[in-house]
Structure formats: C-alpha cells, structure tokens
Structure 1
Amino acid sequence: MGAIAAEIARAKTWQNQDQEKFLSAIERGLELIDSSIDDDKWRGWRSMLFGLRNELANFYLNNSYKDINILYTAI
C-alpha cells in the first residue's frame, strides 16, 4: 500500500508540471493496485482497491477532472 501511495504522491507532484511524468506515475500506481488485487493477502481490501483503481483511472483518462491532491489526502 505504501508503494501505491508513493506513486500517487509522485502524480500529485507532476500533475500541473509535467504531463508525461504525471501519467507515468498513475500507470505505475494502477499496476501496483492490479498486483495487490491479484494477491490473496489483500483479499479483504479488494473492494477498497477497486474503488481506488477506479478513481485513479479517472485521472489517467481525464487528468483535468480534479486535483489529485483530493485522492492523495484520502489515502
């Protein structure tokens, strides 16, 4: 979970500065979330992970949607 939060923090840093780095951080975050969903260790957290993945995907598909700081603060 810490690695996911770190990628969201990186995305927060780059959101208004470097579009390529912003999207790369989100991609890495999505990959980490997918890996966590597939890991039985996080079975009890899957619904939260799916929700987090959905929100992060919204930023990837439409990065002007809102400030990613809202998502960062939530985690």
Structure 2
Amino acid sequence: MDKPAFFAAVAEILETEATGLTGTETLDSLGNWDSLAVISFVAMVDSELDQIVDNEKLKQAKTLNDLAALAGL
C-alpha cells in the first residue's frame, strides 16, 4: 500500500473525502477521529499492512503522516 492508498483508507474510516490529502492534515481537522476510528485504524493496519500499532505512539499521533509512520509507510 502506498501513501495515497493509505490516506484513502484512513479517509474512509473517518468518513471524509480523500481528495487532496497531503499527510500534513491534523486528525482533529478531519473530524470523526474517535475511539471507533482508532479501532478501525488499528484493524486496517493489521489486516492490510500486517503491522502492529504501538498504542503509546498512536496516542501521540497528530497528523496523517504520523499515522502513516505508525503503519510503516
């Protein structure tokens, strides 16, 4: 999975548009970053990228690029 596909997958989780996402967007600005989105994100990274997300690092994530780094991208 490349970054644009990753951003599209995260946008789907957040129920927002993926068009024009660069990675610098804050999770708060995208909306819908809640506990359900976190669980969906962790599950997506596990199933699609075979990666385990570090919970402490996930708590510190602020941007889409931060999430991509957690996913090994």
TM-score by length of 2: 0.41
